[in-house]
C-alpha cells in the first residue's frame, strides 16, 4: 500500500471520531453532514488507490508497518461506527414513528 494513502485513512478516522462525538451529543444533523464527508473521503481514497504509485515500492518492513497502521485505523473506524449505530437506534425509531404518524402529540 502506498504510504500516502494513510492520509486518507487518517482523515476518515478523524471524521468517524467527529461523527461519534456528534452522535453522543445528539447532534444528528452534524452526524449526517460528517457521514457525507466520510463518503467523499472514501471515494477519494478509492480513486487514489487506483492511481499508479509514485517512485519506488516501499521496503517490505515499511509496507508491513503501513499495513499494521491501516489495520489499527480500520478497527477504530469500525468501533466508532458500531457505537454510532447503537446511539442512532432510538433516534431512528423516533424518526420512523414520526413518519408513520405514530408519535403522540400533546395539545
Q: What domains are defined for the chain?
A: 5-99 (1.20.58.380)
Instruction: Give per-residue pLDDT as tens, 7-39.
Output: 999 999 999 999 999 999 999 999 999 999 999
Mean pLDDT of the chain: 87
Q: Is the pLDDT of residue 106 over 80?
A: no
Tell me the C-alpha distance between 14 and 18, whole Å. Answer: 6
Using CA atoms in the order 39, 5, 63, 1, what is the torsion angle rounded to 10 degrees? 70
Would you say the pTM of this structure is higher than 0.85? no
Cα torsion 70, 71, 77, 78 to 10°: value is 160
DSSP class of 60: H
Q: How big is the chain by its Cα radius of gyration, in Å? A: 19
Amino acid at each position: 500500500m502506498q504510504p500516502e494513502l494513510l492520509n486518507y485513512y487518517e482523515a476518515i478516522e478523524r471524521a468517524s471520531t467527529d461523527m461519534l462525538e456528534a452522535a453522543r451529543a445528539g447532534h444528528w444533523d452534524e452526524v449526517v453532514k460528517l457521514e457525507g464527508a466520510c463518503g467523499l473521503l472514501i471515494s477519494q481514497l478509492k480513486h487514489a488507490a487506483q492511481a499508479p504509485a509514485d517512485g519506488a515500492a516501499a521496503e517490505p518492513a515499511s509496507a508491513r508497518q503501513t499495513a499494521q497502521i491501516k489495520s489499527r485505523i480500520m478497527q477504530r473506524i469500525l468501533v466508532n461506527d458500531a457505537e454510532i449505530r447503537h446511539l442512532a437506534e432510538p433516534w431512528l425509531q423516533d424518526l420512523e414513528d414520526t413518519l408513520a404518524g405514530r408519535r403522540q402529540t400533546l395539545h
